[in-house]
Chain A
Amino acid sequence: MKTFAMGGVHPEENKISTAAAIEEFPLPQSAVILMNQHLGAPATPCVAKGDKVKVGQLIGKAEAFMCANVHSPYSGTVAKIDTCKDAFGMTKPAIYINVEGDEWEESIDRTPDIKRECTLEPKEIVDKLKEMGIVGLGGATFPAHIKYNIAPDKKAEYLIINAVECEPYLTSDHRAMMEHAEEICIGVSILRKALGVPNAYIGIENNKPEPIAVMKAMAAKFEGIIVEPLKVKYPQGAEKQLINAITGRRVPSGKLPIDVGCVVSNVGTAFAVYEAVQKNKPLIQNILTVTGKKLPSQHNYLVRVGTTYNQLIAHAIGTLPETTGKVISGGPMMGKAVSNLDGPTTKGASSVLVIDEGEATRAQETNCIRCGKCMNACPMGLEPYLFSSLVKNRRIEEAGEHNILDCIECGCCFFSCPANKPLLDEIRLGKNLYRGILMAKKK
């Protein structure tokens, strides 16, 4: 069974919400739509206060290069254009909408029929992705039209669809594959066409036998889609590791996947691409898991962007359990801790994970016993223990010489450290400081 070359850990899988079918999440009374839900510059609002908007109407226009369009997920009136604190406390430009009814743009095809034929040219597909505000749904929210606009001096050879879902707890991709296999395969075919590559590989970890079976059966009906079961090992879903697992190639330090002829997209993105290209539906909804060991029920929702975390929790379970220690947006290994539950969800949100006190509180840090577990767990072949002491003593340039920027922040080092040292915190700090040094040097 294929997997990546080195390191990795196997955290408890805890996929407890796999059985919960995707439910449509009810509309809120009012909503806040952030203008930067993607990597890069915020979109520019193109509606004014008091304007009536429909579902799917463009409200934030991408003007910068690294930017994506934002569409209204609701119909109603624009209450104000202001800033809003997101779920992590950061102030961001946002549009506030008073929700009235649920009136969609006429151009959007809302019928349940599956549209299989796609007549668009590759260039037109990429333009469509840009128009519909598609971003990568694997976590980094990288604008899709930039990814699929391959520079003329580079050539894509592989399209890799990331359905690994190696993070514990998360099941949104699992459910999407179970319920929308055909749409996903059409989406993959469209992306394959956009890139002009012969084959697309869908990587799925072996702990999801049902989706593997469903996808294999579906892929057989399509040309050039290969389902590739992978050994269960975290962080298989990290771009570089997935490329390595499927193609055996390694993305060199500081390079992008396209430099080794690969383009990686999430399975959720493939579904969004289907809806955008075939159904004219912008990215205004995503599948989101609400899960946690201590929660009375587990859910997978189809949620409109801009729903707050509090609304999600209230609808799913009422109130948080007394012993809640942490609420995480994303998986437990790479997700971000939510500090403001009134913050709205964004395009890239994949889950609301509620972790209990005991697990959420870090244990007391003790001396490093030089066991080397961090080094053996590192999928990039780095030395986290070394970064830890270099960063602590602010010997940042030395850390840079030891390739601290190679770190993909998967968290395997901290996960496996018996001394509970906050290794990844220190590495992140070191990376930031080292980038600062490099910037200063450039000037």
Chain B
Amino acid sequence: MSEIWTAVLVLSIIGALFAAVLYIVAQKFKVVEDPLIDEIAEVLPGANCGGCGKAGCRAMAEAFVKQGNMEGLKCPAGGEEVAKKVAALLGCTPEESEPQVAVVRCNGSCSNAAAKTHYDGLQDCAFANSLYTGESGCAFGCLGLGNCVRACQFDALSIDPESGLPVVDEEKCVACGACTKACPRGIIELRNKGMKNRRVYVACRNKEKGADARKSCTAACIGCGKCQKSCPFGAITVENNLAYIDFNVCKMCRKCVAECPTGAIHAVNFPPKVERPAAPPEAAKSEPVATPAPEAAKSSEPTTPNA
């Protein structure tokens, strides 16, 4: 019988000792934290996509609490809904911004930009970009090795096996911008979603002279400037042999699409065949006079190429 009591006694003492140690450690290393951080972190999507520029959702919540308002902080993945919730918790008004989506600005598919060499190295765009121009010879085009696909936390990107180009699933894309950072050639851009998801953009990044650009890709922007002349709103600029459409100015009249000799300008999600006079004015009317979103305008600057 005494053995049992010894065991009970010894175990109790050990238990009490450990409890004391745990208590002291917990007291000593206690971190005082604003409970608001937890609450906000709860509201955030929790994907840790890094779209906000912070290390993760928790870091973002800390930034919100530290700043006390939402100025300059935006959770692109959460969108309006999350912004409202966070604003309610912080007691401020959410910043309004146009919803955005990732757009692939390259049309160098296997048929447009035929392969002239065969790449046989590490399947990583960043490495291939540092090694050479890519299979088609275009130093600005998509390499098709899928760094953007791997960067996407929302499963919104995939490489189309037919064209070899990434395709954005607009339903899933939350415009976190992870892919734009992952792409070594700055091909993916966040653009305003636009009315009814309609967008007009130049699907090319090639800054070579027209003839050189055409050598590597039949659908390349050759910088002819026809689109610039045709645009009634002055939304198009041609710089370094490359046209760029400012989505904050564009009224989606699609005149440039018809003008482009190489088909480098893409118009997406428009009904297949519309009567010329009817559609553009309507689109122009329905387009809200865009509240200039400073963040969006900044990110729309063409990123520096790494030629």
Binding site for B on A (CB under 8 A): 85, 88-91, 337, 339-340, 360-362, 422, 425-426, 428-429, 432-433
Contacts and interface: CB of A to CB of B under 8 A. Distances in A.
A340 B212 CA distance: 14
B132 A339 contact: yes
Interface string B113-137: 0001100111010110010111001
A347 B232 CA distance: 52
B120 A362 contact: yes
A426 B131 CA distance: 12
Contacts of A433: 126
Interface of B: 116-117, 120-122, 124, 126-127, 130, 132-134, 137, 139, 208, 212, 307
A89 B133 contact: yes
19 contacts: A85-B137, A85-B212, A90-B133, A91-B139, A91-B208, A91-B307, A337-B132, A339-B132, A339-B133, A362-B121, A422-B121, A422-B122, A425-B121, A425-B122, A425-B127, A426-B127, A428-B127, A429-B127, A433-B126
B120 A429 contact: no
A389 to B, nearest CB: 13
Interface centre among A340, A362, A428, A429 (most CB of B within 10 A): A429
Given A90-B139, A422-B121, A429 B307 contact: no
Interface centre among B126, B139, B307 (most CB of A within 10 A): B126
A428 B130 contact: yes
Contacts of A89: 132-134, 137, 139
A5 to B, nearest CB: 29
Contacts of B122: 422, 425-426, 429
A339 B116 contact: yes
B126 A432 contact: yes
A360 B119 CA distance: 11
Contacts of B127: 425-426, 428-429, 432
Contact of A429 (B116, B126, B212): B126
A429 B139 contact: no
Contacts of A361: 120
B124 A339 contact: no
A89 B208 CA distance: 13
B32 to A, nearest CB: 30
Contacts of A425: 121-122, 124, 127
Given A425-B121, A425-B127, 11 more contacts: A89-B134, A89-B139, A90-B133, A91-B208, A339-B132, A339-B133, A340-B137, A361-B120, A425-B122, A428-B127, A432-B126
A85 B116 CA distance: 14
Nearest to A88: B132
Contacts of B132: 88-90, 337, 339
A415 to B, nearest CB: 15
A85 B139 CA distance: 10
Nearest to B116: A339
B39 to A, nearest CB: 31
A91 B207 CA distance: 11
A370 B190 CA distance: 42
A161 to B, nearest CB: 31
A91 B120 CA distance: 22
Nearest to A82: B209
B182 to A, nearest CB: 10
A360 B118 CA distance: 11
A329 to B, nearest CB: 12
Nearest to B134: A89
